């Protein structure tokens, strides 16, 4: 649930400024209005007491809401995946080529290692018939807090399609218009990409300063034929294990 801390903070702030405050004021007034001996101090005390009770109730409710949403978002992806934590064979080639891509084509070991430090370990994902990845974002509005242990904000996503997929399995960007010349669903007004073996898809979920870009919301449409992809996420800072590669593997670059 990317951004849950921001949502929790925003909802709590909204509750404090709205219903919690108004209900505390109303409740305090109701409890003291018929008491001739009640002073303004008594009214304030009642309001503060009610505010505290209502705030606890609101926080618990917001917490339950965010947890239920997080549990529901676990169902976004029905595919299976595995992380490649070593740079042997194809995984090493993939990572080195990605490093050269992000490093302006510079392929020296030092330059490549500098880039690979920012990568999450490559992941291979398999979609079988009817499996999907619902619309989502790769970047996070609360990356500084929630993704601090995995390199902070996701600045780039690199996907490589590992097999031809004739039916289904299209990658779709629901907030971007279709682009002429891109092999996708010709009947869809939105940007779609048809998986083709050896093709790569590179996009930027956030800008160079880490600013979240909502236009990059995307999904993996339902697979009909089996679909395989390899993915690398490039972050703003060093991605430590277990999310990133170990120092020993970095030395292989």
Q: pTM for this one? A: 0.75
Work out the number of other CB atoms within 10 angstroms of the CB of residue 189: 8
Show pLDDT as tens, one digit a residue, over the chain (253 residues): 456 677 777 788 888 889 999 999 999 889 888 888 888 888 899 999 999 999 999 999 888 887 777 666 666 678 899 999 999 989 999 999 999 999 876 667 888 999 999 999 999 999 999 999 989 999 988 888 888 999 999 999 999 999 999 999 999 999 999 999 999 999 999 999 999 999 999 999 999 999 999 999 999 999 999 999 999 999 999 999 999 999 999 998 8
For residue 103, the model assigns a pLDDT of 84
For residue 74, the model assigns a pLDDT of 63
């Amino acid at each position: 649930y990317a951004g849950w801390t921001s949502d929790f903070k925003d909802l709590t702030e909204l509750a404090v400024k709205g219903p919690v405050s108004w209900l505390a004021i109303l409740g305090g007034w109701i409890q003291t209005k018929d008491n001739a001996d009640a002073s303004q101090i008594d009214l304030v005390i009642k309001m503060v007491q009610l505010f505290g009770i209502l705030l606890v109730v609101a926080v618990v409710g917001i917490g339950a809401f965010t947890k239920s949403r997080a549990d529901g978002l676990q169902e976004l992806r029905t595919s299976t995946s595995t992380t490649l934590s070593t740079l042997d064979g194809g995984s090493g080639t993939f990572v080195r080529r990605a490093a050269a891509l992000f490093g302006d084509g510079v392929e020296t070991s030092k330059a490549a290692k500098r880039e690979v430090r920012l990568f999450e370990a490559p992941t291979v994902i398999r979609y079988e018939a009817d499996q999907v990845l619902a619309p989502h974002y790769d970047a996070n509005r609360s990356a500084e807090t929630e993704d601090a242990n995995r390199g902070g904000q996701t600045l780039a996503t690199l996907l490589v399609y590992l097999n031809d997929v004739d039916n289904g399995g299209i990658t779709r960007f629901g907030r971007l218009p279709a682009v002429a010349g891109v092999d996708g669903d010709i009947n869809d007004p939105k940007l779609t990409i048809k998986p083709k073996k050896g093709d790569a898809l590179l996009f930027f979920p956030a800008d160079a300063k880490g600013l979240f870009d909502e236009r990059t919301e995307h999904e993996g449409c339902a697979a009909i034929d089996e679909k395989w992809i390899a993915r690398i996420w490039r972050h703003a800072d060093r991605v430590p294990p277990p999310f990133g590669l170990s120092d020993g593997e970095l030395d292989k670059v």
